Amino acid sequence: MSSAHTHDHKHHHGHDDHVHAHRCPTSHAHQPLDAETDHHHGHDHGHDHGHHHEYRAKDRSLLLIAFAITVAMMVAEIVTGWLTHSLALISDGVHMFTHAFALGLSWAAILLAARPASGMKTFGYYRIEVVAAFVNGVTVLLSAIWIVVEAVGRILVTQPVEIGTTLIVAVLGLVVNIITGAILLRADQENLNIRSAVLHMVTDALSSVAIIIGLVVIHFTSWHVIDPLIAVLVAALITKWSWSLLSDSLHVLLEGSPIDTERVRAHVKARFPEVVDLHDLHVWQISQRFNCLTAHVLVSREYSQQGQALIGRISHDLKHEFGIGHTTLQLEWQ
């Protein structure tokens, strides 16, 4: 079974002829590149789809378990922080909300990605993950601003913190972060969403450690201002993550290129001596590992009989060198 489909349309104009060819990595629906869906010519890879579904099902289960644990701990931290007047604990709970949202988003994205493309959604539903990530980034950034405002108020008017209960919940939060991190390590580490979720759990674990240290300091020194100071530190971590998320998601939504297009152009011209130039080059990203490219390829007329083979070679090279699985190339002759 062929791993790519190609449509050629020869058009005759008043100037040079050109051939348009469209290639994508599979013989059916558009989808992101994946280790399990990397098809090659001359083989029947029907069994790979079964493996693909199996490990996606595993990811769904692991994400759902981690999500449930994270949400339970998030509620416990926020409620306890509110009752014990610990802004640091509340801020850690808000920070944990960002991880819970990310876990839920990844889980929902896997479900939505299984929906087939349609005449109106020709690339499927992969982009919804990026839209949700952008909304999440805005929400988290607003939460960080709220924490800082509250922290400034607590610094100006210090409120005592109930150390005993707060310390217990903070330790439980640290344990939960370690458990959920261990669970996510069993998921597909090549998936950027999974890897980012693991990273979030690590940063949240570090913030839990900071809270515990702050409570110990309060116990021995009665320096209660340490609590809002730690809250500001956690807010800074949240801001850094949310800003990065906003920047990355907005870049995708604005059809920004995930790859340096000049590097792609130079690579193709260097790798394929038949190619004179590459122009009208556009590269964009539908979602993670779902990169697309369109370009006009100017080829020396002496290679006109190799047009179709050249398209296949360029597409294959772009896929393996740059992770571009969906290419539309238009040949022009010089």
- Kindly tell me if the per-residue pLDDT of 265 is higher than 50: yes
Q: How far is CA 41 from the centre of its chain?
A: 29
Residue-wise pLDDT for 200-242, tens only, equals 677 677 777 777 888 888 888 888 888 788 888 888 887 887 7
Q: Does the reported pTM lie above 0.85?
A: no
In the chain, which ranges are continuous DSSP H helix? 46-84, 87-113, 128-156, 163-184, 192-221, 226-253, 261-271, 307-322
Neighbours of 183 (CB within 10 A): 17
Res 41: pLDDT: 35
Question: What is the structure's pLDDT at 1?
Answer: 39
What pLDDT is recorded for position 194? 67
| Of residues 154, 201, 157, 196, the one with CA closest to residue 177 | 201
The pLDDT value recorded for residue 127 is: 82
- Does residue 10 carry a pLDDT above 60? no
The residue behind tokens 């949310």 is 242
Q: Is the pLDDT of residue 27 over 60?
A: no
How large is the C-alpha radius of gyration of the chain? 26
Walk me through the domains of the chain, giving residue ranges and CATH numbers.
Answer: 8-30+257-333 (3.30.70.1350), 47-253 (1.20.1510.10)
**Mind giving me the DSSP string for 291-322?**
EEEEEEEEE-GGGGGGHHHHHHHHHHHHHHHH
Amino acid 168: pLDDT: 78
Q: Is the pLDDT of residue 26 over 60?
A: no
Matching residue, tokens 């029907």 = 46
